[in-house]
Amino acid sequence: MAIFEGAGVAIVTPFHEDGSVNYEKFAEHIEFQIANGTDAIIVCGTTGESSTLTHEEHLEVIEYCIKQVNHRIPVIAGTGSNCTETAIYLSKEAEAAGADGLLLVTPYYNKATQNGLYLHFKAVAESVNLPIILYNIPGRTGGVNIQPETIVRLCHDVKNIVGVKEATGDISQVAKLMSLAKGSVDLYSGNDDQTVPILSLGGKGVISVFSNIAPRQMHDICAKYLEGNVTESRDMLLEALPLMKALFLEVNPIPVKKAMNLLGMQAGGLRMPLTDMEEENARKLEQAMREYGLFQ
């Protein structure tokens, strides 16, 4: 049984002007997601700016999210690190807080070998009992790519490593993975614009940035595909494609926080070294939002 099927939101972490976590707005955003059909919440991932949260903040945000959701939908905690011991610590704490699953990003900066990746993920997984989704995103990890053979080996050898969030952008690699997996890997798209292609290869859903501002639409894209209405799902994705692209005019989560603020959702600013969106790109983003119909 997959941790979830459909659209999981890679949820932002709202900040006050002084840079502290804005839990009031975080609660509002969680409720907005649940009310609009989001199938799971992925907390303290890339979009949640986990890389600039202290360990204490990281765990506080996870715990708050779990309590606010209160078992209504699964909460998957981002607990990856380029330090195996740190990833084990964060994972154990997230399990104790009541998370339903974990998302473990490929170790960054160290540039581990495939054997190193295998041993890293195995060590973290064996420290907890929660189901684990690997997060393969070479663009953020110094080009380190978890090869399909390594993913399949981990899912075969380690009982609680159940799947992967694929954000390589390489559909051929994903196809190879699913060919080798023979049903043993739960696949999630890590790129909104590739949701339908990945579903067509046997994917379970998406871990989505777009869902922060359009949760119902992203849920419906997945739900319609999984119900067998492939044409409508595809057409909905194609309609959303310009806005999905605009959300990556600058590095995530700069544009999605800007979009939320334009919608009055008060996501706040970003922690350095991330900075506010350039004015020209912000205009392009706002135009894409208008064309998609997000402003009433």
Q: Which residue type, as a one-letter code, is found at position 156?
A: H
Q: What is the largest CA-CA distance in the chain?
A: 52
- In this predicted structure, what is the pLDDT of residue 282? 98
Is residue 280 over pLDDT 90?
yes
Is residue 118 in a domain?
yes
Q: Summarize pLDDT for 209-232 with one digit per residue, the tens.
A: 999 999 999 999 999 999 999 999
Among the listed residues 108, 118, 135, 188, the single catalytic one is 135
Mean pLDDT, rounded, of the chain: 97
Residue 108 annotated among the catalytic residues of the structure: no
Report the pLDDT averaged over residues 80-103: 98
Structural domain of residue 192, as residue ranges? 6-238
Is residue 145 in a domain?
yes
Is residue 275 in a domain?
no
Among the listed residues 25, 108, 118, 165, the single catalytic one is 165
Provide φ and ψ at 128, rounded to 5°.
-135, 175
Kindly report the pTM of this predicted structure: 0.96
Q: Which residues of 17-42 are buried (b: 16+ CB within 10 A; e: fewer)?
A: eeeebbbebbbebbebbbebbbbbbb
Is residue 201 in a domain?
yes
For the chain, the domain total comes to 1
Question: Smallest Cα–Cα separation from 93: which of 48, 69, 115, 63?
Answer: 63
Instruction: Tell me the percentage of the chain whose pLDDT exceeds 90.
Output: 98
Is residue 234 in a domain?
yes
Is residue 99 in a domain?
yes
Residue 165 annotated among the catalytic residues of the structure: yes
Is residue 62 in a domain?
yes
Is residue 262 in a domain?
no
Is residue 93 over pLDDT 70?
yes
Read off the pLDDT band of 269 (50, 70, 90).
very high
- In this predicted structure, what is the pLDDT of residue 296? 66
Report the pLDDT averaged over residues 112-124: 98
CATH number at residue 53: 3.20.20.70
* Residue 55 CB partners (closer than 8 Å, separation 6+): 86, 89, 90
